[in-house]
Amino acid sequence: MHVLVKHLLYIIELQRQLIIYLCFLAFGNKLKPKPEKPTDKKYLKLSVDPLPVFGEPPIKQIWQYTVLLENYHREHGKELKPVKRRGGVPVPSDAVCPYCGAPSDYVYDNNGGRGEYWCKICNSKFAVHKPSKDDEPYCPFCHSKLALIKKRKTFDIYRCNNTDCSYRKKKLSAMTPEQKALYKKSPHTFKLRFIYRKFHFDFTPLSRDNNYVPIVDLPNITASHHVLGLILTYHINYGLPLRKTAALMYDVHNVKVSHQTIANYCNAVAPRIKPFVDHFPYELSDSFCGDETYIKVKGRWHYIFFFFDAVKKVILSYRVQRHRDYQSAILAFNDVLVKLKKLPQKLNLITDGNPIYLLAQQFFAQHGINFNVTQVIGLTNEDEVSKEFRPLKQIIERLNRTFKGNYKPTTGFGSDSGSVSSVTLFVAYFNFLRPHSALDGNVPIVIPELEALPNMPAKWLKLIAMSEDFIKSPTA
């Protein structure tokens, strides 16, 4: 009997291995289990070039019509008079020469009203019925028109194909003999040409896009509102999971409340507090750092983009995003910029080596908003930049660890709204209620109304009341 059982187990093991082999042949690697933790990959090196020249052809930067008029007066001893109209089709007032900037007074109708015009000053022909030409980018180094080489989902890539471009020549001359030899074999491994990315992201920078959420009626609390303050204190301040918070409320305070009811309380309080947190008139420094960290929502990895005032210890951005892309970085940058009363001339944001932050910087530059992004790469100080700004990077990493201390006991969130609510309440606690050792035990934002209260549950209730008054105020 023992030999028979052993033989059957051996056959079952062979069958199991055969099934695994057949599934691998049929489905390949699709059946492999996904890793529990996100893979840590090195960031690709990315260099962001300055913005190109837009609108009118770059020759206008060389031939200004006022200079040409002065040259004509110097050569001929008289002024060049505007065009005398003798009937016919009138020239529209917006028919400005794109080559020298001459107004419509110096422009002829060249083909009987069919859209072609002739500039009397620079002797150039052009058409004003092609508005798409105003959006065409030109290389700022050689004034060549950029060519569209790739269409991505979120942006288009333009490149200068002029081999005599000064940008390309400078890059080529800076290469070592070994790099030049490698360039001949694998030219795609080097970036020598001017590159411009045209983003497809419908977002207006410096806009307060976080619309105020209407007041949500809190569920009826059968006990007192002090119970709500206790729940928020245990769950947010001390990072207790929902079930442990419910058990503590019953074991210590003899208040029977389910873990789902506690989650409902948090989801109702967070929309009330979020406008107050986002638009409070913070007094900020000029030292900002940011980073992203991982959380799990419905079993899938999401990212929180934290940006932090390293001096005042105030969290400025706390975006929960599904993807770690440049759109998320743009939103995080915008959260910082809208909180500044005035944009500093030498604003510098410290981030890690993720290239999405450079793309976000270029997006703002295309809208006339300029600031610096300093990237601290790696874990060791391999360059002077990392050595100088490493302390700021360590500060944002410390914030990530503080948040993870509250997050890890939850083992992830069950919904998108639950993750946003939990992060919002954590930021409200961090900015207004949590004492910080670097501030001599004071909270980052000192509000006298909160400081006068005797305990933390009362402070939570007062913060909710102040947030409701903030929403109702006319200036909100």
155 pLDDT above the threshold of 90: no
Average pLDDT over residues 225-230: 90
**Tokens linked to 328:** 């998320």
197 pLDDT above the threshold of 90: no
Please report the pLDDT score of residue 319 as a whole number.
93
From 227-236, 338-347, 449-458, the region with the lowest mean pLDDT: 338-347
Sorting pLDDT into bands at 50, 70 and 90, what band is 207?
low
Please report the pLDDT score of residue 216 as a whole number.
45
Please report the pLDDT score of residue 458 as a whole number.
94
- Rounded to the nearest integer, the mean pLDDT of the chain is 82
Please report the pLDDT score of residue 220 as a whole number.
58
Please report the pLDDT score of residue 208 as a whole number.
58
Residue 77 zone, left/alpha/beta (φ > 0; ψ -120 to 50; rest): left
Q: CA-based diameter of the chain, in Å?
A: 122
Sorting pLDDT into bands at 50, 70 and 90, what band is 9?
confident
Please report the pLDDT score of residue 410 as a whole number.
82
Please report the pLDDT score of residue 63 as a whole number.
55
Average pLDDT over residues 232-236: 94
Tally of CB atoms within 10 A around 444: 20
**8 A C-beta contact, residue 97 and residue 106:** yes
Average pLDDT over residues 398-413: 88
Best CATH choice for the domain 274-472 from the list 3.20.20.70, 3.50.50.60, 3.90.660.10, 3.30.420.10 = 3.30.420.10
214 pLDDT above the threshold of 70: no
pTM of the model: 0.71
Sorting pLDDT into bands at 50, 70 and 90, what band is 131?
very low
**8 A C-beta contact, residue 104 and residue 128:** no
Sorting pLDDT into bands at 50, 70 and 90, what band is 89?
low
Average pLDDT over residues 181-208: 81
194-233 core/surface letters (b: 16 or more CB in 10 A; e: else): bbbbbbeeeeeeeeeeeebeeeeeeeeeeeeebbbbbbbb
129 pLDDT above the threshold of 60: no
Please report the pLDDT score of residue 448 as a whole number.
93
42 pLDDT above the threshold of 80: no
Tally of CB atoms within 10 A around 152: 11
Q: How many residues does the chain have?
A: 476
Sorting pLDDT into bands at 50, 70 and 90, what band is 61?
very low
212 pLDDT above the threshold of 50: no
Please report the pLDDT score of residue 399 as a whole number.
92
**8 A C-beta contact, residue 107 and residue 120:** yes
List the domain boundaries for the chain: 2-31, 58-134, 136-199, 274-472
CA distance 48 to 374: 13
**8 A C-beta contact, residue 449 and residue 466:** yes
CA distance 421 to 415: 10
Average pLDDT over residues 77-93: 78
Please report the pLDDT score of residue 248 as a whole number.
95
